[in-house]
Structure 1
């Protein structure tokens, strides 16, 4: 497999109507690029998969369950499946790389 350039994925994201784009999917995981503009509201709801966020750029806070943490470029954040979480106080446009394991949408509430 050829390396994937994040700039190419950002260009693809510019053409989407959603704040995210999936760009890699395998049996064990999927990857998405997720972007929220400064001041935006994060519409996420808990997922059925574990997630790891790598903050590519931006400054914000993330609420995970009852905990709140500041995040900025270079930070890595783990969110366990089914845990309520969202970004807020987005002070600079936020771009995150999301690793879902197993792949996003591959599990259901009954799994």
Structure 2
């Protein structure tokens, strides 16, 4: 067992907290009004919104997000947070671990 105490604290950007071969978990935080620069990942991911408000936009849909929202984004799907009106914090779970499937140039 491992307690991941540092997960979920608002600190703008990405912070990985745990990694194994099968998954990784971290916190992704975006200040209100900021632009989300992320590009598609080579691994599946789950976002658990813990604080803030905004939207998650993909080519096929845009959904409002707030604390308690849980979203699955498949590997390779374009997505980004938009319209962040309150500092947004999400726990992010990658399966397998982030960059496991990436080529060295993509990291």
Fold shared, TM-score > 0.5 on shorter chain: yes
The residue aligned with 2:94 is 100
How far residue 45 of structure 1 moved from its aligned partner, in angstroms, is: 0.3
Cα RMSD of the aligned pairs, angstroms, is: 1.6
Extract unaligned runs of 5+ from structure 1: none
Deviations along 1:8-60, whole A, 9 cap, x unmatched?
3456x74xxx7010000011100010000000000000000000000010000
Out of 76, 80, 85, the residue aligned to residue 91 of structure 1 is 85
CA distance in 2, matches of 1:61, 1:75: 11
CA distance in 2, matches of 1:64, 1:53: 14
**Matched positions, count:** 103
Deviations along 1:43-98, whole A, 9 cap, x unmatched?
00000000000001000000022210000001100000000000000000000000
Extract unaligned runs of 5+ from structure 2: none
Whether 2:40 is the aligned partner of 1:43: answer no
- Kept in 2, the 8 Å contact 1:64–1:79? The answer is no
- Kept in 1, the 8 Å contact 2:7–2:91? The answer is no
Off by >2 Å, runs of 4+ in structure 1: 8-11
CA distance in 1, matches of 2:59, 2:73: 9
Question: What TM-score do the two structures reach when normalised by structure 1?
Answer: 0.86
CA distance in 1, matches of 2:59, 2:25: 23
CA distance in 2, matches of 1:41, 1:74: 22
CA distance in 2, matches of 1:52, 1:38: 21
Whether 2:61 is the aligned partner of 1:67: answer yes
Larger relative helix fraction: 1
